[in-house]
Amino acid sequence: MRLYTKLITIFLLASSLNAFGIVESKLIGEYGSGKAWMARIQENGDQKICFISSNPISTTLASDKKRDTPALMIANWYSEGILNELSVQAGFPLKLGSTVTMITGDSSYKLFTSGEGAYIEDLKIEKDVIKKLKKGARVKVKSISTKNTKVTDTYSLIGFTKALEAINKACS
């Protein structure tokens, strides 16, 4: 069973540590041009989560519009045996019933939405997306907010493969 609800935890871990250091994640490395991809590990007893994340290099959202930090993420849930689970955090509530479109090269994928996140339901498609991301230079993520604002975020894929290799090694 996929663990989409846990992805919110990853987003919080990637965003920052709290003031008391209660939840800590350790930096494995930064990869790509401008260190676009960050690889991290979080351990708590026998629970181990490794993830990579990146923020968009460009967006169509007007600068006067506010939102939390968007991110493209891949996670490994070591204790659950889940490898390379993809998610998108839009940084704003997504329109109920909408899908997020991810475009890389000549391939396009639909992700289902929940709250501020978007996920791939089919494991076989998810594996195909990961393969395409490894070969690509950029990926576009198109979403619609609850206020009907259409947003396209563009992420660099330079460093993606090395970051993914780092978490696959750390959480294996």
pLDDT digits (tens, 9 = 90+) for 39-77: 999 988 888 899 999 999 999 998 888 899 999 999 999
Question: Distance between CA atoms of 84 and 123, rounded to whole angstroms?
Answer: 10
Each domain of the chain, given as residue ranges in start order, spans 4-170
The two three-digit tokens of residue 14, written as one number: 């990637």
More confident: 10 or 66: 66
Q: Are 133 and 120 in contact (CB under 8 A)?
A: no
**Does pTM surpass 0.95?**
no
Residue range 4-170 in CATH 2.60.40.1880: yes
Q: How confident is the model at residue 172, as a pLDDT?
A: 75
The two three-digit tokens of residue 16, written as one number: 């920052």
